[in-house]
Structure 1
Amino acid sequence: MQAKKWLLLTVMTVAATAALWRMHLPAALLIGPMLAGIVLALCGGDIALPRAPYILAQTVVGAFISRAATPDLLPSFLSRWPLFLAVVLATIAASGLLGWLLYRRYVMPETTGIWGTSPGGATAMVVMAEANGADARLVAFMQYSRVICVALAASLVAHFWQGRGGSVWLDVVWFPAPQWPSLLPLIGLFVLGALVGFGTRVPSGAMLAPMAVGGALHLSGVAIAEVPAWLLAATYAAIGWRIGLGFTRRVALHAARSLPAILGSIVALMSFCGVLAWVIVRLAGVDALTAYLATCPGGMDTVAIIAATSPVDLSFVMTLQTVRFFLVTFLAPPMARFLASRAERHSHGGSGGNPF
């Protein structure tokens, strides 16, 4: 019986992912499995992804993220580091405030709203949120709602700015020929992540360890860990199933009821980042499209594709996006704990406490 349910989940996943892929929807490889898992869970499917595949999936995500630390990142950052840091910290502060308000207004439980509004890599935030005690299902709902909104907005802005359509989709080689210079570092990072994930209690250590080591190797030009498309698809499927299969009717209804507030927080953060883009134009002398894409809150891979097909300063865009991602990754856990404790004290101070 369990085998039939896993087979059904696989068929639903392939169908949903293929449909979203043909629509060129951002994060289709993760949203498809997540939707399939949600449908099966809400229809009574009582299966769950074991911990081991989920830990291994985190190691692949960490290795994949490490590719963002390109050798030209450091020179680009050092040339304008005060501006980059100011913009990134302002964005993190704004997202933290929005998450805190979602908790204070009883829209999201505990630190879930803070993780959900964090402007980092959506997959990384979901993994870290679960490791730090937040509701990964609602975090995923918030994060990928923003990814879609940001991708659509950025695509439209780039389209009208250029006067022509800039594709946000690239052809993918699913089974490339093995390249040992990039495959060996990937295997090493995979082993490192597995050792940390299974052998320690470090929250999301299976992702953070290969991300840090792989980022250092790539930044120094020593090696780059290329993740094959088929392995990335399997990884996203595992993470999507982990999230989707954990949904219940109560969680789904709560997500639906919270959608207006979530969309409001997304619009507020995108608007704030638009103001930051205007500041960058005035202070750094870059064009408006470069500044806008550099400050887009989330969806770094999608922004990279849009920027690569647009007449912008790609180095500037990716430097700011990458610096923000790594800072959010390391600052999100202490920030979530701090803001949640502040909100909890306010709740006990007279508003009756959080109902979750």
Structure 2
Amino acid sequence: MNQNPRRRPLIQHVLGITASPMGRWILLVLGSLLLSYSFTLEQIPAAPLFAGVITAIAINSLGGLTYPRHFSRAGQSILGIAIGLMFTSAALSAISGHWLPILLVTAATLILSLISGVLFSRWAQIKASTGLLSMTAGGAAGITAIAQEYAADVGLVAIMQYLRVILVMVSLPLVVLFFFQDHHGSPADLSGKSIAVSWGGSLLLILLGGPMGVWLARKIHITAPYLLGPLLVTLLLSLLKISPTQAIPGPVLEGAYLLIGWQAGLQMSIHRLRQHFRLIPRALLIIVGLNLLCALLGIFLAHMVGVSDLDGYLATAPGALYAAVAVSMAAHGNVLFVLGVHLIRLLMMLLIMPPLAQRMLKTTGKP
């Protein structure tokens, strides 16, 4: 009886299509869509991105795929445009009178992320750039998207970023229930101001604004040009109120999340994932410590600007922007203040952390 020394996984015998790259692409797309739908039902923010990471890890374990670079660049550009459109005048006006304390607290959060990243890289004995980007508090999708440009382990960065996001998401309602259950704030008026989504305007931004942003970013030597160039151009258009759309259509943004998720997941496999399990307890300890320190900063910010402790806590939560805004709305908090602080920190993180990772890369001499 002849035994095949290669003994393929059972799923390859059942489905057959996974034997070819085309078949694995089909399985990657269908699996990501199904898993994304399941995550969406569970109300997980950026569900397609998380689904893309998990499905790509499974596909990579079946044989892997060559991922075109322009896919991830397109995803970065669309994500940058979507982030830029979030900077509405209403959200920024809610924090306009408190620029100094907000910038100070944001800078403190940045420093805490830097310290956490250095500590994690040394404790876990991983690349300095990987440790720094893994512990960056805020902008998980953007940080994951640009990690490869700084010789970081994209798969590990994605795992640690979403480990942090999940921890924040799970802890937010529990903290509100046990520590802020008597909170009664003045709800921000978001009604009557529906977001105008234009498919034509979005297409114009993606096809013209995106490439223009990338070109400008390269001209002035901005790091991560495919994400930050379109982001800054769209931010300017949004603040000048001349943007052809107020938001990117949901399916387009979800497609960008998938592209970024696939980029991260296809660099990881089940075997490599098992190797990284030893890092999870250490990462959890650092993430919990970071969350507690950010909570203290939030309460400090609340007392400095005269908002509730809950608003301060939600505004400085290290990540899970959509979850923090949703909790703020449910608790009748100052939603625009929470959103505004998150956006300011998101912009600072995406502008400052990549150059820091690059500088650390040159200083240590280790990619």
- Per the normalisation by structure 2, the TM-score is 0.82
Evaluate the alpha carbon distance shift between residue 188 and residue 155 of structure 1 in structure 2; reply closer, same or farther with a 3 A threshold: farther
Q: Which amino acid aligns with 1:324?
A: R
Partner deviation per Cα, 1:4-54 (whole Å, 9 max, x = no partner)? 111122222122222222222233211111101101112x32212211222
For the 8 Å contact 1:96–1:114, the answer to whether it is kept is yes
Q: Which residue of 2 aligns with 1:255?
A: 276
Asked whether the 8 Å contact 1:37–1:245 carries over to 2, the reply is: yes
Which of 208, 213, 217 is the matching residue for 1:188? 208
Task: Quote the offset at 1:196 in angstroms.
Answer: 6.8
- State the AA in 1 paired with 2:137: P
- 1:225 CA drift (Å): 4.7
**Which letter maps to 1:253?**
R
CA 1:79–1:198 in structure 2 vs 1: closer, same or farther (change >3 Å)?
closer
Match of 1:19 among 34, 38, 41: 38
- Structure 2, unaligned runs of 5 or more: 1-19, 184-195
Which amino acid in structure 1 is aligned with residue 52 of structure 2?
P
1:1-356 map, 5 Å: 1-42=20-61, 44-159=62-177, 161=180, 178=198, 180=200, 183-192=203-212, 203-223=223-243, 224-249=245-270, 251-339=272-360, 344=364
Q: Distance in 1 between matches of 2:295 and 2:320?
A: 16
Deviation string, structure 1 residues 90-119 (Cα, Å, up to 9, x no partner)? 111011001001122234322111111111
**Do 1:37 and 1:241's aligned partners in 2 also have CA atoms closer than 8 Å?**
yes
2:186: which partner in 1? none
1:143-172 Cα shifts (integer Å, max 9, x gaps): 1111111111113334554589xxxxxxxx
CA distance in 1, matches of 2:278, 2:101: 38
- Note closer, same or farther for the CA distance 1:196–1:3 as it changes in structure 2 (3 Å cut): farther
Contact kept in structure 2, 1:16 and 1:32, CA below 8 Å: yes
In 2, Cα distance between equivalents of 1:93 and 1:198: 27
Deviation at 1:327, TM superposition (A): 0.9
Deviation (angstroms), 1:125: 0.6
2:328–2:335 Cα contact (<8 Å) kept:
yes
The amino acid that maps onto 1:292 is Y
User: Does the 8 Å contact 1:127/1:204 carry over to 2?
Assistant: no
- Matched residues in 1 for 2:208 and 2:143: separation? 24
Shift of 1:305: 2.7
Distance 1:75 1:13, change over 3 A: closer
Q: Do the aligned residues in 2 keep the contact of 1:92 with 1:328 (CA within 8 Å)?
A: yes
Mean Cα deviation higher: 104-113 or 81-90? 104-113
CA displacement 1:177-225 (0-9 Å, x = unmatched): 8554555344432343565799999642111111001011112222245
Distance 1:62 1:41 in 2: 27
Amino acid across the alignment from 1:263 = L
Cα distance in structure 1, aligned partners of 2:325 and 2:86: 10
> Quick one: percent identity of the two aligned structures?
26
Q: Give, in whole Å, the separation in 1 of the partners of 2:144 and 2:115.
A: 19
The total of aligned residue pairs comes to 334
Shift of 1:234: 1.4
- Go from structure 1 to structure 2 and tell me whether the alpha carbon gap of 1:163 and 1:23 turns closer, same or farther (over 3 Å shift): farther
Higher alpha-carbon deviation: 304-313 or 251-260: 304-313
8 Å CA contact retained: 1:141, 1:255: no
For residue 124 of structure 2, give the secondary structure of its aligned residue in structure 1: coil
CA distance in 2, matches of 1:75, 1:89: 20
TM-score (norm 1): 0.85
